[in-house]
Chain A
Amino acid sequence: MNNKNNYVLEMKKISKRFPGTLAVDCIDFNVKAGEVHALMGENGAGKSTLMKILAGLYNDYSGEIYIAGNKVELYSPYIAKTEGVGMVYQELSIAYNRSVQENIFAGDIPGNGKFVDMKKLRSKTLNALSRVKLDKKIEPSTLMKNVSQHESQLIEMAKVLKDKPRILVMDEPTSSLSSTEVNMLFDIIEELKKDGMAIVYISHHLHEVFKVSDRVTVLRDGKKISTCDISEVTKEQLVEMMVGQKVTDFYKQHAYQDKGKILEVSNLTRYGFIHEVSFQLSKGEILGVVGLAGAGRTELGRCLAGADKVDYGEIILEGEKIKLGSMNKMLSKGIAYLTEDRKLEGLALRLPNKVNILSSIISRLSRFGIYFPSKGKGVLTELYQKLSIYPPDPNVGTSNLSGGNQQKILLAKWLSTKPKVLILDEPTRGVDVGAKKLIHETIVNLAKEGVSVIVLSSDLPELVSLSDRVLAIKQGRIIAELQEEIDENKILLAANG
């Protein structure tokens, strides 16, 4: 094979079909040595599938893959690994009760086959950690559960790097990192580049892509839209390529008039998570809640919704004092909570969309113990139209939908309960731009109709554009309230206390 372009990886005319969809449609993709190639696209564009093919997770793709000029057939993860493909997934795979060194060298522990050579394991681990600049910070025998989140992510990277891959794929590596940690990661990437590694960088964050990558490829609906040097494109052009149409403006800010108090929370406490949280909420108000990871944002939402036990505190809804109880009870009072973990707690992916949407109002659609799903048909059609869910057939299994459409289904599920207070935990996490815009508009419209919305989010632009008021929470306590002229800087400062 000719190798004049110095491509470490060449993927030619790659296609992969799933039941129901052509996830990757005839894509050409290549990466040079010492280059960071960003892969972008909305959810469901085919990024992950393309990279999973590269990692050897599918043995039924079509097309040709060349690594360093040699044709390879990546039919198993093991083959992919030996051919030099290293994959850092978004979700970490860690045995938390084992040490750092055992996690890094799991499956490849040095020794004579009977006993472990601890000294060698330690030195090899330090060596591996040095590539992610952790060798001076972490002792190899530390248990993984005592290691912080961002360090775990780097350890996961060290685990992949120890096999000396030629191609490193990173899937959303910064999704749980703070900005300083992101910069550390970029330093590491810079060094890997100098070593001549070919890096594929998947991300939704435009500014990261501009900062770290050399070239960018945009996918949409399983097809390649374009590959270009990063210096040749602007942010607007990239977004346009991803979305498929020019996005002129983002959502509009909500302007609400006070229509009277609906919810009054006082001294809500769950020991160890939230402490004496008090606030008020007006009818039709959108209240943003900001906080760093672990600040108690999600816990506040869960406690209000009755998903977690509350130790003490009081909730007054429409002047009526509510005894805190189960989720079912809070739901019947009109408090609904949309979880941040769509896959685990939000939707049963294997069920059809209509079942998922109606799952929390089964008892409401029942008479004398018999369930009448036909009564939910009107709601279903209305929600499908309102949220323009694709495909428009409610009988389709939820797992066949893209991430953005799944999130719409999740929102529809809670809208079907006709809540008075809707708590949204990260309503647009991992959702493409189009769906995000639609979800935001839906939230604003809901508020106009008089539903009070609490948005728990780490997405600052989202909070700025949606919220009428923002509460900052830190270590389980409300430490600040922003009411006027909310901007990202103010929110960030408030959240950091």
Chain B
Amino acid sequence: MENVITNMKEDVRKTRHNIVTVYLTKFGVLAMIAFLALIGMLVSPNFMSANNLLNVLNAVSYLGIVATGISFVIYAGQYGDLSAPMTMAISGVICVEFMRYGLIYGVIAAVATGAMIGLINGFLIGKLRTNAIIWTLAMNFILEGLVRWSYKGTQIYPDMANAKTYTTGFFLPLMMKLDPNILEIDLKTRAAAFNGLASTYIFGLPLVLFVMIIVMITGFIIMSKSTFGNQLKIVGSSYNVAKMSGVNCTKIVILAFMMSSICASIAGVFLTSLNQVGAFYIGQGYDFIAVTAIILGGMSLSGGRGSMLGVFGGVFTIGLISNILTLIGVGTFTQKMITGAIFVVVVAVNASSLRKLGRDYA
């Protein structure tokens, strides 16, 4: 080329970064945790004790697992997975059904159930492009009906083993048919193993806390390091751009919903074990609190923005708020109202700060 570019001009406009806004969006959740810790110390001398903080962590472990999953859906720009509560419930029920062959079978069956639900959600939302909120809400409703219908309105207890038990449920009648001797199974020890899941401690720490940490670390690696996670970022930031970049958007959305449902089913197993009963109401409300925690952690509802560390921060914040409110004697119902109000405020602040930064487009 003879005529090399001669008019390479420098842009003379100065650049400026507003430190405050940058840090607030980046470390907002840390500031919140510090603030809550301060309040907690003022409220109760017991607050900062290792025991209390451990209780907080233990209490939010279930939420943490669910939130890790749902964060993938939000990261994909799909607003949330409202079928999480029933996914938790149905996975718990399935686990109770299969744990009579051994705990590990129960867990595998539960996770497989979650994967199935995620696959269906993902297919309908990714392939047929239905609205995620509406569809997962419908899915939640369908699953609730399914559980209550197949159990004829009853609940399932892990140690319940009379002949009548095997007339209801998803797979129990089939199990009876295949193996009439199933009544002979020593259900007591297996039920005890299942019920003990939620109260198992390792090195003085609850098992479910370890599970949450493992799930979150895995989630972190998948979200930020994997091919899927990086393509998910593009899909969440702009679906059309991802599509025109040769990213298989359908596959990505399906995988995101499968992540969500699988995490929900893991949490469902633990929650069912904690309650020592499989029933449709296990997991109720987890969808909303999880979304609140995720948004608190700085993940944007418009997708493609946020991190797993933020999700953990959000979950921990929810735990602290609940802990402090309990310490000062605020009841569960009032706590619900407060959580709802927090959601509204956080979403509003999030949206307006992004608009100020001029990043709320595309």
Which residues 203-244 of A sit at the B interface, judged by CB distance below 8 A?
Answer: 221-223, 243-244
Cα of A326 to Cα of B242 in the assembled complex, Å = 13
Cα of A343 to Cα of B245 in the assembled complex, Å = 13
Known: A221-B13, A371-B226. A327 touches B246 (CB 8 A): yes
Tell me what chain B mostly uses at the interface: helix, strand, loop, or mixed.
Answer: loop
Determine whether the beta carbon of A244 is less than 8 Å from that of B241.
no
Cα of A331 to Cα of B21 in the assembled complex, Å = 39
Determine whether the beta carbon of A19 is less than 8 Å from that of B227.
no
Per-residue interface assignment for chain A, residues 1 to 25, with 1 indicating a CB less than 8 Å from any chain B CB and 0 otherwise: 0000000000000000111111101
Residues of B within 8 A of A328 (CB): 246-248
**A309 CB–B CB distance under 8 Å:** no
Residues of A within 8 A of B11 (CB): 44, 221, 390-391, 402
Cα of A222 to Cα of B14 in the assembled complex, Å = 11
Residues of A within 8 A of B226 (CB): 366, 369-371
Residues of B within 8 A of A249 (CB): 3
Partner of B361, one of A345, A370, A399, A402: A399
Residues of A within 8 A of B334 (CB): none
Determine whether the beta carbon of A22 is less than 8 Å from that of B7.
no
Partner of B241, one of A247, A348, A397, A437: A348
Which residues 340-362 of B sit at the A interface, judged by CB distance below 8 A?
Answer: 357-359, 361-362
A-contacting 9-mer, from B52-60, B182-190, B228-236:
B228-236
Cα of A402 to Cα of B13 in the assembled complex, Å = 12
Residue of A nearest to B1 (CB): A441
Number of chain A residues whose Cβ lies closer than 8 Å to a Cβ of chain B: 61
Known: A20-B16, A22-B13, A391-B11. A350 touches B5 (CB 8 A): no
Residues of B within 8 A of A23 (CB): 13
* Most chain A CB inside 10 Å of its own CB: which residue of B9, B12, B244, B246: B246
Cα of A214 to Cα of B195 in the assembled complex, Å = 85
Residue of A nearest to B10 (CB): A390
**A467 CB–B CB distance under 8 Å:** no
In the assembled complex, the CB of A78 is this many whole angstroms from the nearest CB of chain B, namely: 19
Residue of A nearest to B16 (CB): A20
Determine whether the beta carbon of A18 is less than 8 Å from that of B3.
no
Cα of A343 to Cα of B244 in the assembled complex, Å = 12
**A347 CB–B CB distance under 8 Å:** yes
Residue of B nearest to A414 (CB): B245
Determine whether the beta carbon of B244 is less than 8 Å from that of A337.
yes
Known: A244-B9, A247-B7. A362 touches B231 (CB 8 A): yes
Number of chain B residues whose Cβ lies closer than 8 Å to a Cβ of chain A: 45
Determine whether the beta carbon of B237 is less than 8 Å from that of A351.
yes
Which residues 367-408 of A sit at the B interface, judged by CB distance below 8 A?
Answer: 369-371, 373, 388, 390-391, 397, 399, 402
Partner of A339, one of B18, B244, B248, B357: B244
In the assembled complex, the CB of A252 is this many whole angstroms from the nearest CB of chain B, namely: 7
Cα of A346 to Cα of B241 in the assembled complex, Å = 5
**A75 CB–B CB distance under 8 Å:** no
**B164 CB–A CB distance under 8 Å:** no
**A317 CB–B CB distance under 8 Å:** no
**A344 CB–B CB distance under 8 Å:** yes
Give me the 7 closest cross-chain CB pairs, A-B, nearest first: A349-B362, A348-B237, A348-B238, A360-B245, A366-B227, A331-B246, A328-B246
Complex A-B: 27 CB contacts under 8 Å? A17-B16, A221-B12, A244-B7, A252-B3, A326-B248, A327-B243, A331-B246, A344-B241, A346-B241, A346-B244, A347-B241, A348-B234, A348-B237, A349-B238, A350-B305, A351-B233, A351-B234, A351-B237, A355-B233, A360-B246, A362-B227, A369-B227, A370-B226, A399-B358, A399-B361, A413-B245, A444-B1
New A-B pairs, 14, CB < 8 Å, besides A331-B246, A348-B362: A19-B18, A19-B21, A244-B7, A252-B3, A326-B248, A347-B241, A347-B362, A349-B361, A350-B362, A351-B233, A360-B246, A371-B225, A391-B11, A413-B245
